[in-house]
Structure 1
Amino acid sequence: MHRIFRFVICWLLGFPLPISYGQKSPAAYVNPFIGASTSADAAGIYHGLGKTFPGATTPFGLVQLSPNTITGGDNGSGYSDEHSFIEGFAFTQMSGVGWYGDLGNFLVTPTTGPLHIVAGRHPKLGSGYRSRYDKATEKAEAGYYAATLTDYDTRVEATAAAHSGILRFTFPKQDTSRIQIDLARRVGGTATSQYVRVVDGHSITGWMKCTPDGGGWGNGDGKADYTVYFYAQFSKPLRQYGVWSAPIPEDRRRKLQDIERAAYDSLILQAERLPYRNEIQGKHLGFYTEFETEDRESVLMKVGISFVSMDGAKQNLQQEIPDWDFDRTRQNALRLWNAALSKVHITGGTEEQRTVFYTALYHTLIDPREMADVDGAYPGGDGNIHQNNHFTKRTIFSGWDVFRSQFPLQSIINPKVVSDMINSLVTLADENGSEYLERWEFLNAYSGCMLGNPAVSVVVDAYNKGIRDFDVQRAYRYARNTVEKFGNGERGHSGGISYTLEHAYSEWCLAQLANSLGHPDDADRYARRAQSYRNNFDPDMGWFRNRTEDGSWQDWPDGGRIAQPTVEGNSYQQGWFVPHDIDGLVQLLGGRDKVVADLVDFFERTPQDFGWNDYYNHANEPVHQVPFLFNRLGAPWLTQQWSRIICENAYRNSVEGLVGNEDVGQMSAWYVLASSGIHMVCPGDNRYEITAPLFDRVSFTVGDSANPRKFEIIAQGNSPANRYIQSAKLNGLPYERCWISHQDIIAGGQLELVMGSEPNTRWGMR
């Protein structure tokens, strides 16, 4: 009766319904510590591990309130599990990225005793405000984080709303307890100028300006140029407060390698301390408020964040966290996560596999995050503030990664997020006058990171799936400009294998859209250019080969395919990326039997732990479609075998549970799709390859919120041994294909798979 009562109450109040009477809620399975390490040593490669953060956020929210353990190095998330200190709690973070990272702004630290104004990373300069923390007391859940700072005997709890966050500090008995804010702090560098003003007896407001001169994204090479505005309130009145302001010389370099050094902290230690200063602008500022506390007294601080204005930050806070009820804010964050995660419902698998699954799904729901305020205002690429209520302005588009799995997943469960991101990219190209689509967008910056034209893939895949709530003609024009600017062009190659193959794919994508929109000349032109991948194939070597600028072959290395470098990989890995013309690839490589044998060898040489390697390197994106190629080669049982092995071995419920950078949802989206039993090879062709699900039943809520439907994948007789599909039915009728269309998925229905322990080499051959 209790369970029935709980079900009815959830339904009446609009809360997410329990998954089933025998399971926890989806959010209860989330372990934000999965992947939360930047350690190069643990990864065995300089790229590090997952680089996720364990702090509190909400689905696609602007705020990520997370502990930061170190400033410096390639620590894009601001947190790494093996570090023994917490510097403070920042209100913005990136998830799963390399290239030094960015954000990590508005760093808040509770302290006691004397005031320290540097973190304390350089022992020869003395101690600082950072604190050791007790790992046994550390706790992370969807929308909540807590840890005890042992140097201050202070418990810190964090939770968040979409544009704001709230911290609860439980202090010891102290004459001088304190909340201090390092306004200059930034992952990968420093804010170059800051402003703070005391508004009233409980509130402050201000901003932090972050430019390429201060490092950050790509240590400045990512061209990040943004301002974070804040409005902060304290539950205790501002009676003893002040600021510190360090004298930064005009000619002082302030990139990552500069601010990491002890000499920079020595400069900060010369800061002027200004009690009761009500307003100040400077190059390296901090703010503090001090008070007496009783033993185990709770003091709260809540903050609204905006990329638009101080008034926007205030409005964000007042609308989302109008009171001081920390627990209610936490419960609301949990409710949002359960609603978002309930779009995929799984049955079966082990407890660990369910934890890995829902944490993976959680990681796919962090980006692309909101950039607009609660009223729809957002900063445009022209430096002006724009107002839009037609779509949600989004940011952090890790294109080279996420076009492969993340956006195909969101096209099923969150199509509005896909159209929002396309609208954001198209309007940005309008606003900044570039009129092409950026491959790695960060807070309006055209960072130029990575390669290819992934935004073209996302636009075309969305259009072909019926997601068209954007200016299609303008998107087409900018996609064409993008391919002309960065494609293989009339020369027919881009030199390196990675570039030529990736560009050929995006040219194929553009040809599809040109054909759909009635541009036959363009369709023919880009269809021809889509074949340009062949221009980097050397028939004498039987594989793809890098070219020099003048078009001649580069030297063939002694180690062969695995010794020939490509972008973040080797030519053996990159050479499989011809998703748009697999028949042509097979013809080049000597026929189906030869290709299948080569692919089997490719997988069998891969280490069992799937760590960084020269063969199937799941830690990096260029191979993510490869396990599903067997479906296209007439050997679908091998797709079933290897996708299951990867799911079972490359993902674990641990800090080291991701074999490579999480990459803004991509690594996790691969798992969500593959473990569910579907995955695309070629975004843009609407075909999802069918493979062996890890779970007995997976139910997707598909389509838009106005007309949701259910699409279920059922694996009868599923078990670790029974990993091969024996037969299938779609909506009750026999189904002999090893793939399913996007249209069949979003129409709703049921795909039933009968599983067995031996391959059925006859099924899926149509």
Structure 2
Amino acid sequence: MTFRILLSLLFLNCISSVNAQEPNSPVDLVYPYVDSSNSRWFFFNSANRPFGMVNLSPDTDIDGAWGSGYRYQSDTIKGFSHIHAWQLSGLSVLPLVNFDLESSKDFGSPFSHANEIVKPGYHQVYLDRYGVKAELTSTLRTGFHRYHFTETGQQQILIRLGGKLGPSQLIDGSITQISPTTYLGTLVNGATSRRPFDTPVFFAIQLNRAVQSHIGWNAKEVSADLEQIKGPDSGLILSFDDRSDELLMKVGISYVSAEQALLNLETENSHWDFDQVKEASFTEWNNYLSRIQVSGGTEKAQRRFYTDLWHALQGRRTISDVNGQYADMTSGKHRIKQIPLDASGKPKFRHFNSDSFWGAQWTLNTLWHLVYPEITEEFVNSMLQYYQDGGLIPRGPSGGNYTYVMTGASSTPFIVSAYQKGIKGFDIEMAYEGLKKNHRPGGIMEKAGYEHKTNLGGGFQYYLKNGYVPWPIPEGRFGAHQDGPSLTLEYAYQDWTLAQLAKALGDQAAYKEFYQRSFNYKNTFDPETGWMRPRNVSGAWKTPFDPYDYNAGFNEANGSQATWFVPHDLEGLAALMGGKDQAIQRLNESFEQAEKQGFTSGTSHSQEAHPEYRRIPINYGNQPSIQTAFIFQKLGRPDLTHYWTRAIVNKVYAELSPDSGYNGDEDQGLMGSLAVLMKIGLFQMNGGTEANPSYQLGSPIFDEVLIHLHPNYYPGKEFTIRTLHNSPNSFYVKSGVFNEQPLKELELTHQEIIQGGTLVLEMSEKAN
């Protein structure tokens, strides 16, 4: 065992021992129902592991990526699906009793939340129609089911092979029985407007009791061994004898082959002890969640904090198998590839599905890189694997496909920030090569959202030639989010981050190229109105212009919200507005107006385009303006940062309710991460992309925050934030002391934090 591995094991054991002493572990504090009335396919999670390939949970709604999956207000369960991922679904099953396929295809069952238990790693629910208590848990790549039949009758399990399931149409499928208790099969997720290629998912099913009989429906062909069951809405029903009222089922998933799915199953879950897997899942979640320990504040605040942290580790899914095999779909063909192995024959990293890192510069960059650096390192290596396979570092892959979700080169700040923070377990030369390619003609930056076959939608040629992206793009529409001012602002910031990496690597020519481009944001600022404003290819400003008009040249935002997207040069932005005082006054007025609407465009992402809600000047329900409260601090008014961050936390990220919680677009951990950072008082305006990045210190809501630093990456053992005289009304930071040395400014560098120590913040009801 290497010293590096030993340190890692000691680190996790230390966290586990802390958990054992706590009366309420983080797993017990998490509230999985939060915002589930507004759920989308990949939002709700229960029986899964961190970044699990399998994320097993009930589905009440199955038609579409939005308004689907587990929805709290829906009253009927239509299946238990094993994949709830970005643009992917798969293998829905459901236990039945006495179901007659000839008389009905309506197999859903009513249920009650009163007979339900949901925790990270576990879901229990009672199916009223069939009298079945269903329990679900999982390993990383396998699902584990335990069914208790409380009524007599024919015990059955439904397996769906086709039909609409969340974001995908399952266009094909097959299943083969290889023993009385084992089945292997395939599902095919049909291409979508976002994921361009048909994507297969493979599965292996093992049961602890022999199947008595099976019957398929909507099959084009049915042979004795079930080889060709397929169709637009096909499936299979397995039947069992009733000699036992308990039935166990294990399901392995793979994107490579059914044989690989069986390997995942036999490697990760070789026994039939359901409770052992459930407890192992609780332990793993506790290990992750206990990396940050909070004390003080209300019980509700602590419960919500760990719910946020749990969400920060959700949504982005493993797609490689236990032996490191994975499916490369970047060309449209299903090609089986291999993750490099270490000296012991284990894969060096995992491969991942992932929604875009759009907005991650203010969320995941800070949280993951500091608290979960090993996860950051795996994700960077996964991005570089896509680069080797398909020629581009991705911004949101799905099942091995490029999706070109959202805009720009959002992976650049993520990778640059990792390198600047000393996370270097990846090929930096390859990464730099790929990032430069993304920022030049032929790269991913010039593609608009979901622009699969062309490269004109991002208006990149105009950005290089004229210094801004026009609106509209003269050539027409080729994808989504072709919003000139937003693209200009995003490209400029991302260019600045790449310039920082070029500087760190000693590439002065590239540093000059990207640094100069980073000031292109000025070309979309209209001095007459004082807002970022669309202009056409001839340079004429959009007329008439309304800074509160939503999606009129601004990506999922309005002009007021987008104007502040200059995280790399806020002093330059302030100068354009007439100076810091004028900029602060305008931003404060925007917050005062936004407060009247609760700081968000309604209480869910679906309300963002509402004629009234969309006119909000600052929106903490979506990514484009979630940095704005910390702009005050960068412009010399930390007191306003403290005031408004507390107000936002209390209004937007405090509830424990199925009907609210993120009040917008919780894209696979982005808003959960933001909530965590605001509550512990750490933020990075430019995404932590400069050399030895700085952290802005906010207003922690807890008496103490203890962060366990990973010993394989950082030399310090713990970093502690302690507050004095903290209360709901004492949210201003009067003074700060770090390791007994007074702070001149409310900032710490990354190097200071990772050396370990204690930050003491004295709180006050009055601003300094």
Q: Name the TM-score class by shorter chain.
A: 0.7 to 0.9
Say if 1:379 and 1:750 are closer, same or farther in 2 by CA, change over 3 A.
same
1:707-757 per-position Cα deviation (integer Å, ceiling 9, x unaligned): 662111111111111101111111111112111112222221111101111
Question: In the aligned structure 2, how far is the partner of 1:518 from the partner of 1:133?
Answer: 62
1:677 shift after superposition: 0.9
Indicate whether 1:517 and 2:508 are aligned.
Answer: no
Say if 1:189 and 1:427 are closer, same or farther in 2 by CA, change over 3 A.
closer
Say if 1:638 and 1:107 are closer, same or farther in 2 by CA, change over 3 A.
same
What amino acid does structure 1 have at the position aligned with 2:47?
A
Verify the 8 A CA contact 1:702 1:745 in the aligned structure 2: no
1:146 shift after superposition: 1.1
Deviates most, 370-379 or 62-71 = 370-379
Indicate whether 1:170 and 2:155 are aligned.
Answer: no
Say if 1:396 and 1:681 are closer, same or farther in 2 by CA, change over 3 A.
same
After the TM superposition, which residues 552-563 of structure 1 pair with which residues of structure 2 at under 5 Å, given as runs? 552-558=540-546
1:508-527 per-position Cα deviation (integer Å, ceiling 9, x unaligned): 11111111112111111111
- Alignment partner of 1:568 out of 527, 533, 556: 556
1:51 shift after superposition: 6.5
- Alignment partner of 2:636 out of 634, 643, 647: 634
1:263-284 per-position Cα deviation (integer Å, ceiling 9, x unaligned): xxxxxxxxx8x59644225334
Verify the 8 A CA contact 1:561 1:571 in the aligned structure 2: yes
Structure 2 residue aligned with 1:319: 267
Structure 1 residue aligned with 2:36: 36
Q: Percent of aligned positions with the same letter in both sequences?
A: 30
SS at match of 2:521: helix
1:286 shift after superposition: 1.2
What amino acid does structure 2 have at the position aligned with 1:387?
I
1:564 shift after superposition: 5.0
Structure 2 residue aligned with 1:587: 575
Question: In the aligned structure 2, how far is the partner of 1:479 from the partner of 1:587?
Answer: 31
Question: In the aligned structure 1, how far is the partner of 2:17 from the partner of 2:118?
Answer: 23
Question: In the aligned structure 1, how far is the partner of 2:464 from the partner of 2:269?
Answer: 53
1:175 shift after superposition: 2.8
Say if 1:583 and 1:134 are closer, same or farther in 2 by CA, change over 3 A.
same
- Alignment partner of 1:408 out of 366, 369, 372: 366
Structure 2 residue aligned with 1:712: 720
What amino acid does structure 1 have at the position aligned with 2:728?
P
Say if 1:149 and 1:533 are closer, same or farther in 2 by CA, change over 3 A.
same
Verify the 8 A CA contact 1:306 1:316 in the aligned structure 2: yes
Structure 1 residue aligned with 2:76: 85
- Alignment partner of 1:287 out of 236, 247, 253: 236
Verify the 8 A CA contact 1:171 1:293 in the aligned structure 2: no
Question: In the aligned structure 1, how far is the partner of 2:539 from the partner of 2:397?
Answer: 31
After the TM superposition, which residues 605-684 of structure 1 pair with which residues of structure 2 at under 5 Å, given as runs? 605-606=593-594, 607=596, 609-612=598-601, 613=613, 614-651=616-653, 652-655=655-658, 656-683=660-687, 684=689
Indicate whether 1:491 and 2:447 are aligned.
Answer: no
Structure 1 residue aligned with 2:430: 474
After the TM superposition, which residues 366-445 of structure 1 pair with which residues of structure 2 at under 5 Å, given as runs? 366-380=314-328, 381=330, 383-388=335-340, 389-432=347-390, 435-445=391-401
Question: In the aligned structure 2, how far is the partner of 1:396 from the partner of 1:757?
Answer: 42
Deviates most, 652-661 or 220-229 = 220-229
Question: In the aligned structure 2, how far is the partner of 1:558 from the partner of 1:231?
Answer: 56
1:174 shift after superposition: 2.6
- Alignment partner of 2:254 out of 302, 306, 317: 306
Cα RMSD for the two superposed structures: 2.4
Verify the 8 A CA contact 2:339 2:350 in the aligned structure 1: no
1:303-323 per-position Cα deviation (integer Å, ceiling 9, x unaligned): 111112212111111122111
Say if 1:224 and 1:24 are closer, same or farther in 2 by CA, change over 3 A.
farther
Indicate whether 1:597 and 2:614 are aligned.
Answer: no
What amino acid does structure 2 have at the position aligned with 1:644?
R
Indicate whether 1:689 and 2:696 are aligned.
Answer: yes
1:401 shift after superposition: 3.3
Structure 1 residue aligned with 2:344: none
How many residues get paired?
695
- Alignment partner of 1:63 out of 40, 48, 54: 54
1:122-171 per-position Cα deviation (integer Å, ceiling 9, x unaligned): xxx96611111112112210100111111112111100111101111111
Structure 1 residue aligned with 2:296: 348
Say if 1:341 and 1:590 are closer, same or farther in 2 by CA, change over 3 A.
same
1:341-386 per-position Cα deviation (integer Å, ceiling 9, x unaligned): 1100101111111111101111111243322111122223452322
Question: In the aligned structure 2, how far is the partner of 1:166 from the partner of 1:558?
Answer: 54
After the TM superposition, which residues 536-555 of structure 1 pair with which residues of structure 2 at under 5 Å, given as runs? 536-555=524-543
Verify the 8 A CA contact 2:11 2:711 in the aligned structure 1: no
1:422 shift after superposition: 1.4
Say if 1:240 and 1:275 are closer, same or farther in 2 by CA, change over 3 A.
farther
1:180 shift after superposition: 0.9
Indicate whether 1:453 and 2:409 are aligned.
Answer: yes
Say if 1:505 and 1:226 are closer, same or farther in 2 by CA, change over 3 A.
same
Indicate whether 1:183 and 2:161 are aligned.
Answer: yes
What amino acid does structure 2 have at the position aligned with 1:147?
V
List runs of 5+ in structure 2 lacking aligned partners.
Answer: 1-9, 341-346, 447-459, 471-483, 602-612
Verify the 8 A CA contact 1:557 1:564 in the aligned structure 2: no
What amino acid does structure 2 have at the position aligned with 1:431?
D
Structure 2 residue aligned with 1:53: 44
Verify the 8 A CA contact 2:486 2:553 in the aligned structure 1: no
What amino acid does structure 2 have at the position aligned with 1:665?
G
- Alignment partner of 1:749 out of 741, 754, 757: 757
List runs of 5+ in structure 1 lacking aligned partners.
Answer: 1-9, 40-47, 95-100, 118-124, 248-271, 761-766
Verify the 8 A CA contact 1:174 1:294 in the aligned structure 2: no
SS at match of 2:464: coil
Calculate the TM-score normalised by the size of structure 2: 0.86
1:439 shift after superposition: 2.1
Indicate whether 1:336 and 2:276 are aligned.
Answer: no
SS at match of 2:146: strand
Question: In the aligned structure 1, how far is the partner of 2:187 from the partner of 2:711?
Answer: 37
